[in-house]
């Protein structure tokens, strides 16, 4: 095992796969000459050249469409958005073409493409640069949605996403690129659609994903001092979701708290809540609590932003509520 940064895990996954398959290439704003806006493609232009590491204009609709067309012709593009907020400019191509061409062509065209980049808030970036669109993309059949929370998962899942014959939305976080973690030096992958129990416990299940799961870890440490045992599940993949892992845990703990950095209406937490009440209702000893951002655009003010985004204190309060403490 070697300790590396999240950005290095992303770079390693892309580079290793590009060495194995010449049909894979990377394109996006500043991915080449600048080594990536977050240095997640550092050194890749030098190794693979300008035909496989391609700087694009600020034109997400255009280069998303080019990537999809090239995928239809046998290539395996990786498209980097500087942030998924900018992917909204190209969302017509993602939803109406990438997600649907396999079905609409009667299976004649696979679309092996990865759309990747940062999601959700990254500090004081304002309302239009701090949005979480996981539930938007997960709502669309034909897309797979992956949101890793650490370097190990990021590398293993990105390699699987690049090898997948369907379009994958791979969502990262600007605030995690500097995070460090142990990653094997040998080859490995993590299957898409499989969550992981990051911490075993008996009193309550906490489900989360992405960078906000760190607040669940902090809360679990605090609650452990009071004798409360939390089981933490990292979804890792939003669609397909590992519902069986969640149900198994809830049947053990009988209580569920969901932590998600997203607006409260119609999000991933809502779907999890539905699945649990449908398939494990009789096991619940308390109503499910979901913790989300405030139902407003993200504020720029640091004081308001702190109140807007969920934190470990919110998780502690929710756990104690489902435990009637």
Please identify every residue annotated as catalytic: 60, 129
State the Cα–Cα distance between residues 273 and 300, nearest whole angstrom.
Answer: 31
> Which residues make Cβ contacts (< 8 Å) with residue 311, sequence separation at least 6?
215
Are 102 and 166 spatial neighbours (Cβ–Cβ below 8 Å)?
Answer: yes
Burial of 182 (0-12, 13-18, 19+ CB in 10 A): exposed
> Which residues make Cβ contacts (< 8 Å) with residue 237, sequence separation at least 6?
144, 145, 146, 147, 157, 192, 193, 194, 195
2-5 and 230-234 as β-strands: parallel, antiparallel, unpaired?
unpaired
State the Cα–Cα distance between residues 8 and 29, nearest whole angstrom.
Answer: 18
Partners of residue 145 on adjacent β-strands: 169, 239
Are 78 and 54 spatial neighbours (Cβ–Cβ below 8 Å)?
Answer: no
């Amino acid at each position: 095992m070697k300790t590396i940064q999240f950005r290095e895990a992303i770079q390693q996954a892309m580079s290793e796969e590009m060495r194995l398959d010449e049909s894979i290439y990377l394109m996006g704003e500043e991915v080449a000459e600048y080594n990536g806006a977050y240095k997640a493609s550092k050194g890749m232009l030098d190794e693979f050249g300008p035909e496989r590491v391609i700087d694009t204009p600020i034109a997400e609709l255009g280069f998303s469409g080019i990537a999809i067309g090239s995928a239809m012709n046998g290539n395996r593009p990786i498209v980097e958005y500087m942030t998924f907020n900018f992917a909204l400019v190209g969302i017509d191509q993602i939803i109406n073409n990438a997600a649907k061409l396999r079905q609409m062509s009667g299976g004649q065209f696979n679309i092996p493409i990865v759309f990747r980049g940062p999601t959700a808030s990254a500090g004081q970036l304002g309302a239009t640069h701090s949005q979480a669109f996981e539930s938007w993309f997960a709502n669309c059949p034909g897309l797979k949605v992956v949101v890793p929370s650490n370097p190990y998962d990021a590398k293993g899942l990105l390699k699987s996403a690049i090898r997948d014959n369907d379009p994958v939305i791979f969502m990262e976080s600007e605030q995690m690129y500097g995070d460090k973690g142990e990653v094997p030096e040998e080859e490995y992958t993590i299957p898409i659609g499989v969550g992981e129990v990051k911490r075993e416990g008996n009193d309550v299940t906490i489900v989360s994903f992405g960078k906000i799961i760190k607040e669940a870890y902090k809360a679990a440490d605090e609650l452990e001092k009071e004798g409360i045992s939390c089981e933490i599940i990292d979804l890792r993949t939003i669609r397909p979701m590992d519902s069986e892992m969640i149900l198994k845990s809830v049947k053990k703990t009988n209580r569920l708290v969901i932590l998600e950095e997203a607006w409260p209406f119609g999000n991933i937490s809502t779907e999890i809540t539905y699945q649990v009440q449908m398939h494990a209702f009789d096991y619940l000893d308390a109503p499910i609590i979901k913790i989300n951002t405030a139902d407003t655009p993200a504020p720029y003010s640091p004081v308001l932003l702190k109140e807007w985004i969920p934190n470990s204190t919110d998780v502690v309060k929710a756990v104690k509520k489902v435990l009637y403490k």
